Structure 1
């Protein structure tokens, strides 16, 4: 039976809230300067990702000059939460760590805000469901079998439209199972995605047959650190969530991007708010998550919606009726609600076709969107306003079978390079759908895996014998396809060289009598390599050559009669030196 006429409800509430998804901009290239004016961070703490393969002891050596130490690791993404001494400047430490060859990225542990204001325009019905053609989509899918994680302030499990919709979640903030809503924001977000519907009470949602997994990431003030958000996303991915909604402005944060990649590698889709600054955010496009700006009932971007190159799609976010903490209902506005409208659509798509990959979902969402603004993609609407019916219909008809392997190559070190100690190895990989991870092998032994681009490794070359070593990278996609990079051969030189060169003077012969001039010939050899060879005559430097072969014409016309000393000194690449001397007579 069609469900298309079951979602128009009017509730005479006098209080109208606008929930802001996040205060502050998120510039990927330099998040410190971009976010500082509108956001705070956890003091005495930073987030650092070492290159894959760097061991704990070596990482602590990197931190030691700054007085820092690794507090704990964010599971699954190799991001370390680092504690700094009270007198340390977080920004100064970051600037230093970002220059270190063994560090992939370092950033502040920013705190993001969910803020409330009042006096939004009153909207008397759930217009967004009509605008997105959700009713027609319900003839295809209701969200059955899909779990949606709501990473937010908690969810009111006693609300009549949510009580039967929840599965157990987790409180990342307090590290316990209490996921009650402590601020009110999460209950509103959850209601947009999966409030009970077609039940003659309350509001309708997008995917009411889906299950809601509350993951509390904030304190009672509604604020959440990006490390807690990342931990919550990984927890959700590990506990069966196929879709995750984050109604905070998280675009541009490397730690959250790594967690979203972890979710993506498990077949999950992460949807996030663009933010409510009303300004341009220059964060770059990121394929680990779907970023959503907000539109009004006229398909126009709202004045308060953040926009920029990171926006993927847009969705209704003004005057959205939903559930509120304490059992009520209200109309709310913000990209906090355009995001769950999109997450609800994604849920319906995956329920209609569970075989879809995250890349399939994103592509279908974009290609079926209603193009607004400038033709094609633009920074206000992304690829357009989400059309739930078109997206779900396309998902149901889609046949996806990936048989193409990724392409991978090692960019550095170069072939035949001489290396020692900890070696930085950089690889690039691409795939028609998406790379899940890249493995680096040295002489056939796994060094480390990296699941997020850029693929950066630290290899301890002391674990192989000196001489030639073989480096190969393997790239994998979600379908199990994989390929190997071209082999890179490097020359490992770690052993301490204490052997000096040998020096032979072949001309003139020791004790020779010279009248006017003589050709001096010498040869130096070494177990590794001779760096330079120098000629001294009577203790004075006559010439120096690179390498071990020396030839010098000595004119003795103005040299006094008597005995003279010819010495040749060779130095190898480790600094070991040897000298050979002879005497000649004029």
Structure 2
């Protein structure tokens, strides 16, 4: 049993009278109430709750009574969370309703986005966006959104809301408004055929709570999100938050988060948890953006300075911040997930970080070397490298029978020639079956008797329609012998 209560300089930044508590497997929250006189205010997930503190105990002193209780795995005050841009003045300039600067910006070209879209566009991937909400009526998002939830107002409408009131008393009004819509716009451009699941965990000031963030992560997993994008954080570790992140990773989700805009080695969470891909921002010269945080927990860097994106009201805006770098990495991960056979979250993360453009050697980055992650995101390189591995034969289960699979070219555009090699004395199959990764048979190809053992596939299905770009499984049967291989089709 581990109980933890963060204390110190941030003690005022929490919801008064609320604790976020996680019970161990098989635990019982009622046992906590019976022992301490606490009450459940809200259940966040299967094992996490918001409870009242014991009478006469300050929430920042909860470690004094929780350390001795075996019914508690972790606990924290219900800390206030913020988007990095709300904490360090979001930089947004409205630019009107023209799409040109959004669709043709240099950041897309620098990371090889158009080239990557020849291989994958994200079909079949669901991305959870934990942010200030979204403008669901924006033209860019039509056909891309699925129903989400608002954990700020606790309703089923995660739309962005501007109240016109300085609710956090910082002298700024609605400084977080538009943040989620902008982040979503980067995702939509990066991975145009993915589903976006909007989850509102921050208000129009860019502020939320630890409880709403945990609920949002749990909800994303329950809705089947394969990738979770979070431009939100705390300036210190929270064990209940790390528990939620670990649960999501265990469920197969890849988590991506902004590293922060402090221009210091300051770590924020969840980005600095080991289970999360932490993303910092670069300028147009691949030098650390002037505002970007940098530290050893950063995994990868991406463009994040002067990014054009969608803005509420059907318009567009330009923003700077690590929040606008993170969704490029989220989009890249979705492209890989869609194109190949889904693997562990760590495999996708490794593919992204192994294929970067090294930027530590640039003069402007010398003071930050080793603190900008492995380098700058290169989506095309990540995807082609990932697909090169996916395209290798997967007939290992049938190798004892001596059947081998070959295809050239692979990946291919247009047509490819497929060949099988079988042991002497065995019957060469007359046909191959081609399946999508979802298990749907798209084509049956019969071999010409004059060239038994060789097939050509032109990327068409049985009805003569072009199939989508992506990875396809090829299956053959030679009597009792089988061979299975992968082909990568690009458009």
Inter-CA distance 226–58: structure 2 relative to 1 (3 Å threshold): same
| TM-score (normalised: structure 1) | 0.56
**Are 2:135 and 1:156 equivalent residues in the alignment?**
yes
TM-aligned CA deviation for residue 275 of structure 1? 1.1
Inter-CA distance 186–117: structure 2 relative to 1 (3 Å threshold): closer
SS of alignment partner, residue 311 of structure 1: coil
Q: Distance in 2 between matches of 1:153 and 1:389?
A: 30
- The structure with the greater share of residues assigned to helix is 2
Work out which of the residue numbers 145, 148, 162 in structure 1 matches 2:124.
145
- The structure with the greater share of residues assigned to strand is 1
Q: Name the residue aligned to 1:368.
A: 355
Q: Distance in 2 between matches of 1:33 and 1:370?
A: 40
Contact 2:274 2:297 in 1 (8 A): no
Q: Name the residue aligned to 2:388.
A: 397
**Are 2:258 and 1:279 equivalent residues in the alignment?**
no
Inter-CA distance 179–55: structure 2 relative to 1 (3 Å threshold): closer
Q: Distance in 2 between matches of 1:120 and 1:214?
A: 23
**Are 2:125 and 1:135 equivalent residues in the alignment?**
no
TM-aligned CA deviation for residue 149 of structure 1? 1.1
TM-aligned CA deviation for residue 303 of structure 1? 2.4
Contact 1:350 1:395 in 2 (8 A): no
TM-aligned CA deviation for residue 210 of structure 1? 0.9
Q: Distance in 1 between matches of 2:133 and 2:321?
A: 18
Contact 1:46 1:108 in 2 (8 A): yes
SS of alignment partner, residue 366 of structure 1: helix
Q: Distance in 2 between matches of 1:151 and 1:220?
A: 13
Deviation sequence 1:395-427 (CA, Å, 0-9, x none): 2233499x9xxxxxxxxxxxxxxxxxxxxxxxx
Work out which of the residue numbers 38, 45, 55 in structure 2 matches 1:68.
38
**Are 2:376 and 1:385 equivalent residues in the alignment?**
yes
**Are 2:194 and 1:210 equivalent residues in the alignment?**
yes
**Are 2:7 and 1:32 equivalent residues in the alignment?**
yes
Inter-CA distance 106–180: structure 2 relative to 1 (3 Å threshold): same
TM-aligned CA deviation for residue 307 of structure 1? 2.1
**Are 2:157 and 1:187 equivalent residues in the alignment?**
no
Q: Structure 1 residues 248-257 or 39-48, which shifts more?
A: 248-257
Q: Name the residue aligned to 1:230.
A: 214
SS of alignment partner, residue 184 of structure 2: helix
Inter-CA distance 94–303: structure 2 relative to 1 (3 Å threshold): farther
Q: Name the residue aligned to 2:50.
A: 81
Q: Distance in 1 between matches of 2:94 and 2:159?
A: 29
Work out which of the residue numbers 331, 334, 345 in structure 2 matches 1:344.
331
SS of alignment partner, residue 33 of structure 1: coil
Q: Distance in 2 between matches of 1:30 and 1:388?
A: 40
SS of alignment partner, residue 7 of structure 2: helix
Q: Distance in 1 between matches of 2:147 and 2:94?
A: 35
TM-aligned CA deviation for residue 166 of structure 1? 0.9
Q: Name the residue aligned to 2:59.
A: 90
Q: Name the residue aligned to 2:411.
A: none
Q: Distance in 2 between matches of 1:98 and 1:358?
A: 33
Inter-CA distance 327–109: structure 2 relative to 1 (3 Å threshold): same
TM-aligned CA deviation for residue 146 of structure 1? 0.8
| Structure of higher CA gyration radius | 1
Deviation sequence 1:301-328 (CA, Å, 0-9, x none): 1221122232121111110110001111
Deviation sequence 1:111-151 (CA, Å, 0-9, x none): 12232444889996622111111121111111111111111
Q: Distance in 2 between matches of 1:268 and 1:119?
A: 30
Q: Name the residue aligned to 2:164.
A: none
Contact 1:293 1:380 in 2 (8 A): no
TM-aligned CA deviation for residue 71 of structure 1? 2.8
Q: Structure 1 residues 118-127 or 293-302, which shifts more?
A: 118-127
Q: Distance in 1 between matches of 2:195 and 2:53?
A: 40
Deviation sequence 1:413-471 (CA, Å, 0-9, x none): xxxxxxxxxxxxxxxxxxxxxxxxxxxxxxxxxxxxxxxxxxxxxxxxxxxxxxxxxxx
| TM-score (normalised: structure 2) | 0.67
Q: Distance in 1 between matches of 2:94 and 2:295?
A: 25
Extract unaligned runs of 5+ from structure 1: 1-28, 195-204, 404-586
SS of alignment partner, residue 61 of structure 2: helix
TM-aligned CA deviation for residue 54 of structure 1? 2.9
TM-aligned CA deviation for residue 69 of structure 1? 2.8
SS of alignment partner, residue 32 of structure 1: coil
TM-aligned CA deviation for residue 384 of structure 1? 1.6
SS of alignment partner, residue 290 of structure 1: strand
Inter-CA distance 297–120: structure 2 relative to 1 (3 Å threshold): farther
The count of corresponding residues between Structure 1 and Structure 2 is 358
Inter-CA distance 217–297: structure 2 relative to 1 (3 Å threshold): same
Q: Name the residue aligned to 1:44.
A: 17
Q: Distance in 2 between matches of 1:268 and 1:162?
A: 23
Q: Distance in 2 between matches of 1:99 and 1:302?
A: 46
Deviation sequence 1:62-95 (CA, Å, 0-9, x none): 5x1xx5333333214x222121268641111234
Q: Name the residue aligned to 2:322.
A: 335
Deviation sequence 1:12-42 (CA, Å, 0-9, x none): xxxxxxxxxxxxxxxxx98433645xx8211
SS of alignment partner, residue 321 of structure 1: strand
Inter-CA distance 70–324: structure 2 relative to 1 (3 Å threshold): same
Q: Name the residue aligned to 1:357.
A: 344
How well do the aligned residues superpose, as a CA RMSD in angstroms? 3.0
Q: Distance in 2 between matches of 1:228 and 1:217?
A: 5
Q: Structure 1 residues 208-217 or 96-105, which shifts more?
A: 96-105
The 5 Å alignment of 1:184-583 reads 184-194=178-188, 205-250=189-234, 252-282=237-267, 286-373=273-360, 380-399=371-390
Contact 1:310 1:379 in 2 (8 A): no
